């Protein structure tokens, strides 16, 4: 009898195991296609569980379905490093001891590298850090166009040219997502200023929208296969962009066939009807202004929470709307947290430091270098004066949501001392920026004249002076939530530079910023370097370039105007920027950045694509495979670049297209290709580039189609938009 009971028990266990195996939910089976897993998971969820997935449960997370083993979605601010952990219902740091990250260079620096391989390295490294911290979504990269040099968040973006941004964002996305972490490309769309960012209604032509402001987002979706996108705060044609029917339903999801999640910017949702119907999938940060408001908010009162649930139950909203939102969120989860192929990640590794250093070195731009001021080899000078607050100030802190808590940060002064020796470096602060709070900036109590006098005395007796200044991430500088008030350097730096020049003509200016600045002293300064915000390896990167260990190869991703009125957006008055408080009209249309300077024949201070080297390059006459092309063909362009100097260097060949005669307004030229090449001294390298003719067109507002007109086109090859070395004409039929 005893044996019989045992045998019966064994049989029961076997039957139970078979039953459980047979009933295993398909959504848990990683061998099943994702779409089948989504369908299965939806069939098992209640209406309430579905709705709960569509809105936040904390400052940075949204609910899963614990009953079914579906995990939460955890987001984290980027795109330059993984933000510290914060409290559940507060923006303040939670005080963890293991969340200090690697700071990578700001995206202006990445864009300045003109090297998509650097973007892939960047994405892979930051994706590994996000994965190690178990994040589902990295809130970046940003690809909004540099429209005005006053925009406080320009440092987070990739410059003024849609083609450059498109080529750089795709490998960044691929690098991040290979780690099982979703990017969230932002801010979609037309978020080109911080002033009145929560409400300003942007008016822009369809042509400018398609040619300038959407291409990088389109590339991110169609080529990069981005798994999520963030809506922007502003309005477009009367609807907020976080629930904008034209942008989200018609363009993003229907035309571009985006299958990922649309996530609101924090505090960017304004009503239930539009958020339910107009393409939003996941609502975050409602009841906050997106940045500063602390404390508990009732997540069940979000627009896509109880009000949405009530509307679904009453029949006001079709459940298919909900199912589409939840399907997209499930798809993201199955691609990330519930993917069997998800790697483990790395955090603050030597490889990440190496990546940060290499990206920084490739992005630093040598703007001016008279009489070979740079490089400064070790031993050339006995006394090097280093002047300026940015030589020692942390530039990874501040700036809004991109502020970081880092494992380490090498300052420029530390890098210079390490390279040249402490006996040869003398430092003086020279100026002081004062405290900054959200929306406010305070003057310092320090004696400004005393700071200047001390710096002047050090400069007077130095062999060479390195002034390290620029902007910082205080409000009204490079910072989220506020635009700059002027193109000038802040904190009395122009006065300080003039005082230094009075006692020493051997002064170089090294600018840390994500924006252009005016330079009233430019004709008196022999050398200028654009240094960006370089992250953890900032000091090592700039020192390697200044000393000549690294030959600079960065190129400007945006134009520097001589004065504010030279900028297209600002040249049309208040309605064009910053708007009248309600509306803003992009009156410059397609003529943004170098397109404006070229077409209107306005000389910039420094042109788009400009960047010097410690060597020189010579371009050969180009040839094409033929002279006449159909609109579906590609031009095969071949030419050579020779390094005619004495040191190895890298050059970025920039290929522009000019429509010689058009029936519509066209820019004088537009960037259509670029290639960065390392070339040994006295050596040549051949460049072969394919130029699809169909990409030379313009967007016709009337027909709502891209059109390439027949006629002659000139292919221009240059070292910058203002330094065209060769050209060749072709006929398009």
Active site residues per annotation: 265
Q: Quick one: which of 460, 420, 428, 483 has its CA closest to 192?
A: 483
Region of 625 (left: φ > 0; alpha: ψ -120 to 50; beta: rest) is: alpha
**CB neighbour list of residue 177: distance below 8 Å, 6 or more residues apart:** 123, 127, 183, 225, 226, 227, 335
Q: Output the six-digit token pair for 158.
A: 């990739």
Residue 482 near residue 445, CB atoms below 8 Å: no
Residue with tokens 């299965």: 40
Contact 103, 356 (CB under 8 A): yes
Is the bond preceding residue 122 a cis peptide, omega within 30 degrees?
no
Q: What angle separates helix 319-335 from helix 306-314, to the nearest 10 degrees? A: 130
Residue 492, by phi and psi: left (phi above 0), alpha (psi -120 to 50) or beta? Answer: left
Structure letter (DSSP) for residue 547: H
Helix (H, G, I), strand (E, B) or coil at 30: coil
Asked if residue 481 lies in contact with residue 289, where contact means CB atoms within 8 angstroms, the answer is: no
137 preceded by cis ω (within 30°)?
A: no
What lies within 8 Å, CB to CB, of 645 at 6+ separation is 613, 614, 615, 616, 681
CA distances from 292 to 285, 287, 438, 696 (A): 11, 11, 8, 44
Q: Are 72 and 336 in contact (CB under 8 A)?
A: no
Does an H or E element contain 717, and which? strand 711-720
Backbone angles phi, psi at 376, to 5 degrees: -110, 95
C-beta separation of 551 from 613 below 8 A: yes
Task: For residue 109, report the phi and psi dihedrals to the nearest 5 degrees.
Answer: -70, -45
Tokens of 131: 């994965």
User: Look-up: residue for tokens 């998800």?
Assistant: 342
DSSP state string for 219-237:
HHHHTS--SEEEEPSSEET
Distant-in-sequence, close-in-space partners of 471: CB < 8 Å, separation ≥ 6: 477, 478, 484, 489, 490, 512, 513, 514, 515, 517
Q: Which whole-number Å values give the CA distances from 613 to 151, 365, 420, 543, 617, in the listed order?
A: 29, 9, 22, 15, 9
List helix spans (H) across 54-198.
107-112, 116-132, 162-177
Query: CB within 8 A of 250, min separation 6: which ones?
Result: none
3-state helix/strand/coil string of 250-277 = HHHHHHCCCCCEEECCCCCCCCHHHHHH
């Amino acid at each position: 009898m005893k044996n019989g009971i045992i045998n019966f028990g064994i049989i029961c266990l076997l039957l139970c195991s078979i039953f459980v195996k047979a009933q295993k939910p398909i959504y848990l089976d990683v061998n099943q296609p994702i779409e089948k897993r989504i369908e299965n998971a939806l069939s098992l969820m209640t209406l309430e569980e579905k709705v709960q997935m569509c809105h936040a449960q904390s400052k940075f997370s949204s609910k899963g379905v614990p009953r079914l083993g579906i995990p939460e979605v955890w987001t984290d601010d980027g795109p330059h490093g993984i933000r510290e952990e914060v409290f559940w219902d507060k923006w303040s740091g939670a005080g963890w001891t293991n969340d200090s990250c690697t700071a990578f260079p700001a995206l202006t620096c990445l864009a300045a590298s003109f090297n998509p391989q650097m973007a892939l390295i960047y994405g892979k490294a930051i994706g590994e850090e996000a994965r190690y911290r178990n994040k589902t979504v990295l809130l970046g990269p940003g690809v909004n166009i540099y429209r005005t040099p006053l925009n406080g968040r320009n440092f987070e973006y990739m410059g003024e040219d849609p083609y450059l941004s498109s080529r750089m964002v795709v490998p960044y996305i691929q690098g991040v997502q290979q780690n099982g972490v979703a990017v969230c490309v932002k801010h979609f769309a037309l978020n080109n200023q911080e002033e009145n960012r929560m409400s300003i209604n942007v008016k822009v032509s369809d042509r400018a929208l398609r040619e300038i402001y959407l291409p990088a987002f389109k590339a991110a979706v169609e080529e990069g296969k981005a798994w999520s996108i963030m809506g922007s705060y502003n309005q477009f044609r009367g609807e907020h962009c976080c629930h904008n029917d034209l942008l989200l339903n018609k363009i993003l999801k229907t035309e571009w066939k985006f299958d990922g999640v649309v996530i609101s910017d924090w505090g960017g949702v304004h009503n239930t009807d539009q958020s339910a119907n107009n393409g939003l999938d996941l609502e975050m940060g409602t009841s906050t202004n997106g940045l500063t408001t602390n404390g508990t908010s009732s997540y069940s009162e979000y627009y896509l929470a109880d009000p949405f649930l009530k509307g679904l139950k009453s029949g006001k909203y079709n459940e298919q709307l909900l199912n589409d939102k939840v399907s997209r969120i499930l798809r993201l989860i199955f691609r990330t947290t519930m993917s069997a192929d998800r790697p483990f990640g790395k955090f603050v590794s030597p490889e990440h430091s190496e990546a940060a250093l290499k990206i920084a070195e490739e992005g630093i731009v040598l703007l001016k270098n008279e009489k070979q001021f740079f490089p400064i080899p070790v031993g050339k000078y006995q006394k090097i004066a280093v002047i300026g607050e940015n030589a020692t100030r942390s530039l990874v802190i501040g700036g809004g949501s991109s502020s970081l808590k880092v494992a380490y940060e090498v300052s420029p002064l530390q890098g210079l001392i390490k390279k040249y020796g402490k006996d040869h470096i003398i430092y003086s602060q020279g100026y002081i920026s004062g405290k900054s709070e959200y929306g406010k900036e305070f003057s310092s109590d320090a004696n400004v004249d005393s700071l200047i006098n001390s710096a002047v005395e050090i400069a007077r007796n130095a062999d060479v002076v390195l002034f390290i200044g620029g902007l910082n991430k205080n409000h009204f500088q490079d910072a989220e939530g506020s635009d700059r008030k002027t193109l000038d350097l802040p904190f009395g730096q122009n006065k300080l530079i003039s005082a230094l020049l009075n006692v020493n003509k051997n002064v170089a200016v090294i600018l840390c910023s994500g924006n252009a600045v005016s330079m009233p002293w430019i004709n008196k300064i022999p050398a200028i370097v654009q240094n960006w915000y370089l992250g953890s390896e900032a000091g090592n990167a700039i020192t390697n370039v200044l000393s000549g260990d690294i030959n600079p190869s960065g190129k400007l991703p945006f134009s520097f105007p001589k004065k504010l009125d030279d900028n297209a957006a600002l040249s049309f008055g208040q309605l064009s920027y910053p708007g009248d408080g309600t509306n803003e009209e992009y009156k410059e249309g397609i003529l943004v950045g170098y397109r404006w300077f070229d077409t209107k024949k306005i000389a910039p201070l420094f042109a788009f694509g400009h960047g010097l080297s410690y060597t020189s390059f010579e371009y050969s006459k180009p040839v094409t495979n033929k002279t006449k092309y159909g609109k579906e063909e590609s031009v095969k362009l071949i030419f050579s670049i020779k390094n005619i100097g004495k040191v190895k260097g890298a050059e970025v060949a920039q290929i522009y297209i000019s429509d010689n005669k058009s029936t519509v307004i066209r820019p004088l030229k537009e960037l259509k290709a670029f290639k960065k090449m390392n070339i040994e001294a006295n050596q040549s390298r051949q460049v072969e580039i394919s130029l699809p003719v169909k990409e030379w067109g313009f967007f016709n507002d009337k027909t709502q189609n891209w059109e390439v007109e027949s006629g002659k086109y000139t292919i221009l090859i240059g070292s910058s938009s203002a330094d065209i070395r060769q050209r060749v004409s072709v006929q398009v039929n």
